[in-house]
Homo-oligomer: A and B are copies of this chain.
């Protein structure tokens, strides 16, 4: 397991022409295991447990690097700071307009999405990111 993960991370780095450092490896592993949409500060707090000397600047630099490389994605901010998520499966978000909670929803459950790969102005489509804005079950009761 660990061997595989390490290996694929090495490959990822090679593909993107970046060096495999201890900090990067831990950062990557930690982020893979984090659910939701962590902010850099939250990621930093987690990584610090394993690499106490790591700097917040390093976390920022590498998150940007990962986002540029397509390893992770930047996510819409109905919060207040940079958020990321992993590239895993294709899913979208339900955002509660009362409590601001963000919940994932799969492409199937969402039930929409056509597949044009080109839009009017010649825009080449890579993917769709859908935010469903509404009221979550919990807030409806209040």
Interface size on A, residues (CB 8 A): 36
B residues less than 8 Å from A136 (CB atoms):
121-124
Within 8 A of B (CB), among A101-142: 103, 105, 109-114, 116, 119-137, 140
Considering only CB atoms, which chain B residue lies closest to A95 in the complex?
Answer: B129
A94 at the interface (CB under 8 A from B): yes
A125, B131: Cα distance in complex, Å:
10
A76 at the interface (CB under 8 A from B): yes
Q: Could you tell me if A137 and B121 are in contact, using CB atoms closer than 8 angstroms? A: yes
What are 23 sample pairs from A and B whose C-beta atoms fall under 8 A apart? A74-B78, A76-B76, A94-B123, A105-B123, A109-B119, A109-B120, A111-B116, A112-B112, A112-B128, A119-B132, A119-B134, A122-B136, A122-B137, A123-B134, A123-B136, A124-B135, A125-B133, A126-B133, A126-B134, A127-B133, A128-B132, A128-B133, A130-B131
